[in-house]
Amino acid sequence: MPYTIKPLLMGKLLVSKAHMTYFLDYDKEIWTAQVAWLLEGGSKRILVDSGISAQAMQRYAFGRPYESIASFEETLSAAGITPEDIDLVIQTHLHYDHCGHTQRCSRATVIVQEEELRFAFSPHAVFAGSYNLDYLKDLRFRLVSGDKEVLPGIKVHLVPGHSPGTQAVAVETDQGTAVISGMCCIKDNLFPPEKMRTKWPVITPGVHCNSLQAFDSLLKVKSLGEIVIPVHDMEYALKKHIP
């Protein structure tokens, strides 16, 4: 049975566009989505990432404007479920804004790349503020290493560069494979303005641990499916479902 992907939009944060597009548009501001992704259609209830609460996001926003849209529980309730109903959480990576609610999914197994978990517990000083170990306590991790099918119709693909163990999630739908990018990006990262495309077919995310690796990983993400979902893009987060 094919899946559909339901965005669970919890809030939006105003940032410099350069936070997403490396070397570009420092003077422009954009709203970025704080979102989780519910995979509907199979026998298990599956989330890709879990987002973060408005209260916690305010602590991390450093005064940047943040607008709360709905709580985690409210977004799930709109889909007819509760956090306790979630069977599986696939963490694209473990930055604080992607796993802030995972503990609330008390029954869930949590799939993460082995390298990402290792780095989260011993990050380089530059990235120490991106991880909150309190969010990882008592989670039931299922570690994977590299590309792997986790369920029929759902595969994870290692795409390092944004963080050491970022993974994209490829989901089979009735309109082909939809790929949740994993790394933090917007539509312009994957589909740059036309005048740039001959030189840069993708744009490295503004936040990265390895800019060259992140560039190559974005190329991989684009090759994995017919539909590509940049995880912080408001256009995709506002959709009722994908496809």
| Gap between the Cα atoms of 5 and 40, Å rounded | 6
Q: Give the number of residues written for the chain.
A: 243
Go through the domains of the chain in sequence order and give each one's CATH number.
Answer: 4-237 (3.60.15.10)
CA angle, corner 62, sides to 53 and 27, nearest 5? 115
Q: Which is nearest to 31 in space by CA: 59, 5, 69?
A: 69
| Gap between the Cα atoms of 50 and 105, Å rounded | 9
List all residues 6 or more positions away from 121 whose beta carbon is below 8 Å from its beta carbon.
133, 136
Q: Are strands 88-90 and 109-113 parallel, antiparallel or unpaired?
A: parallel
- CA distances (Å), origin 185, targets 44, 48, 139, 167: 28, 15, 26, 13
DSSP 58-106: HHHSTT--EEE---HHHHHHHTT--GGG--EEE-S---HHHHTTGGG-T
| Full-model pTM | 0.97
Give me the amino acid identity at 88. L
Cα–chain center distance at 95: 9
Q: Which is nearest to 95 in space by CA: 17, 8, 205?
A: 205
Q: Are 176 and 224 in contact (CB under 8 A)?
A: no
What local confidence, expressed as pLDDT, does residue 143 receive?
98
Q: Which is nearest to 130 in space by CA: 88, 100, 172, 87?
A: 100
Residue 243, preceding peptide bond in cis (omega within 30° of 0): yes
Other beta carbons within 10 Å of 207: 17
Q: Which is nearest to 218 in space by CA: 155, 169, 159?
A: 159
| Gap between the Cα atoms of 16 and 223, Å rounded | 28
pLDDT tens series, the chain, 243 aa: 799 999 999 999 999 999 999 999 999 999 999 999 999 999 999 999 999 999 999 888 888 999 999 999 999 999 999 999 999 999 999 999 999 999 999 999 999 999 999 999 999 999 999 999 999 999 999 999 999 999 999 999 999 999 999 999 999 999 999 999 999 999 999 999 888 888 899 999 999 999 999 999 999 999 999 999 999 999 999 999 999
Q: Are strands 227-229 and 154-158 parallel, antiparallel or unpaired?
A: unpaired
What local confidence, expressed as pLDDT, does residue 147 receive?
98
